[in-house]
Chain A
């Protein structure tokens, strides 16, 4: 079974709709992240959380919100989706104490299309 899972894997929605992307992990890591990937731009950080009570904005947080429901769950919401939020979204986890230099482990990604 995958250590980091994302649901849904693919989603098509309409402008103005609220949408939530979910991420769950079984790695036991405290740190979780949301990125978006656009062609030619690489991955950009949206939000990150170092524990259940810690939420931080990343490089491109406008238009997004997050919720850390538990150590294992980190959700990303688009309150009112717009077409330029069409992208591939990745969740990642990391463990700074695990001897892996806080290496990030990624979920399989969610492809979101906003019409």
Chain B
């Protein structure tokens, strides 16, 4: 099974500043998809951003962007102009097209936004 590692259990950022959350994964596949999900205290899982491995261009969604380094198997999330509503648990996920399209999740990073 693929392994997804989030090495930062907790992170904090000042409001309006930028923070980067790290994610690495282990795979022998060449074609796959990567996702970041946000889980606020309401516990709802919300899609933040997604990236196709065959695309070299990094995905961007408003204040959220990724740094996808395929060779290094790294997929970090950058949050710019952090807002109080960004405080949540963030999960990195890998989707494998070769194992029934199963998703593999990291253990999460808890982000605190300091006013």
Q: Is the CB of B47 within 8 A of A103?
A: yes
Q: Is the CB of A109 within 8 A of B44?
A: yes
Q: A58-B102, A105-B47 are in contact. Are A43 and B91 (CB under 8 A)?
A: yes
Query: Which of B14-22, B63-71, B103-111 lies at the binding interface?
Result: B103-111
Complex: chain A residue closest to B32, CB-CB: A101
Scoring B4, B9, B44, B50 by chain A CB atoms within 10 A of each residue's CB, the highest score goes to B44
Q: Is the CB of B105 within 8 A of A101?
A: no
A34 within 8 A of B: no
24 A-B pairs with C-beta separation under 8 A: A35-B105, A40-B9, A41-B107, A42-B107, A43-B45, A43-B91, A45-B102, A50-B100, A58-B102, A59-B1, A88-B43, A90-B45, A96-B101, A101-B50, A101-B52, A101-B95, A102-B101, A103-B47, A104-B47, A106-B37, A106-B45, A106-B46, A109-B44, A109-B45
A56 within 8 A of B: yes
Q: Is the CB of B50 within 8 A of A103?
A: yes
Q: Is the CB of B103 within 8 A of A104?
A: yes
Chain A residue total in the interface (Cβ 8 A): 29
Residues on A facing B (Cβ under 8 Å): 31, 33, 35, 40-45, 48, 50, 56, 58-59, 88, 90, 92, 94, 96, 100-106, 108-109, 111
Chain B residue total in the interface (Cβ 8 A): 25
Interface members, chain B 59-115 (any A CB < 8 Å): 91, 93, 95, 100-103, 105-108
Complex: chain A residue closest to B91, CB-CB: A42
Contact of A56 among B95, B100, B108 (CB under 8 A): B100
Instruction: List the 5 closest pairs (A to B, CB-CB), nearest first.
Output: A106-B45, A42-B105, A43-B105, A42-B107, A101-B33
Q: Is the CB of A44 within 8 A of B105?
A: yes
Q: Is the CB of A40 within 8 A of B107?
A: yes
Whole-angstrom distance between the alpha carbons of A45 and B91 in the complex? 14
Task: Name the distance in Å between A48's Cβ and chain B's nearest Cβ.
Answer: 7
